[in-house]
Structure 1
Amino acid sequence: MEGFEEDSLPEASGSQRLFPDPSGASGWAPLHRGIIVLVMGFLMCAVGGLLFLLLSLVVTEAPPRPVASACLSLGLLLGLMGLVWIPVLKEKQRRKGYCQAA
């Protein structure tokens, strides 16, 4: 381990952060995970609805009905989770702003 000195290591202090300061970020940056979950959930729900429609119209040889049910139910679950998660993240961001201001 040549070249390894203790002086080259950064000092551990409470002021160092692993993530950049969110105050410089835009208002939507902290919400990106919730928005992604919401969009993916509604897309999956739409795929499940489309599979049900194709199965009912017998237009094409679509996957069996359990796949359509699973897509529809998982899509609704993810969509609702995203709808709940976004206000929670907004509240967390608001409280963090109050703590930093005080």
Structure 2
Amino acid sequence: MEEFEEDWFPEASGSQRLFPDPPGASGWAHLHRAVIVLVMGFLMCAVGGLLFLLLALGVTEGPPRPVASACLSLGLLLGLMGLLWIPVLKEKQRRKGYCQAA
């Protein structure tokens, strides 16, 4: 059996990214995933609320109540995740700027 060699894994002094940001990227370029999650979450939440409203008013016999509650809860989950992800990414960018300046 071969012994484990120390140099088998490449040395990394920090986190490495597969797709680094281009040099001319704006300050909001690193937030695009969080904003997409935020928007999709609130859209899904709105669809769930609309389905609940339509079912409560008796306008439609469409999808059952569990579909509406699933849309509402998943929408709230994604919306809050996007809202909390944005400050985390901003803090990460701020710390990255401090490290590069030093």
**Which whole-Å CA distance do the structure 1 matches of 2:95 and 2:23 have between them?**
13
Residue 84 of structure 2 corresponds to: 84
The residue type paired with residue 63 of structure 2 is P
- 1:60 is aligned to 2:57: no
TM-score (norm 2): 0.79
Residue 28 of structure 1 corresponds to: 28
- 1:69 is aligned to 2:65: no
Unaligned segments of structure 1, at least 5 residues: 1-13
What displacement does 1:48 show?
A: 0.2
TM-score (norm 1): 0.79
What displacement does 1:58 show?
A: 1.1
Residue 96 and residue 85 in structure 1: after superposition, are their counterparts in 2 closer, same or farther (change >3 A)?
same
Q: Give the match's secondary structure for 2:86.
A: helix
Moved over 2 A (4+): 16-24
* CA RMSD of superposed structures (Å): 2.1
Identity of aligned residues (%): 90
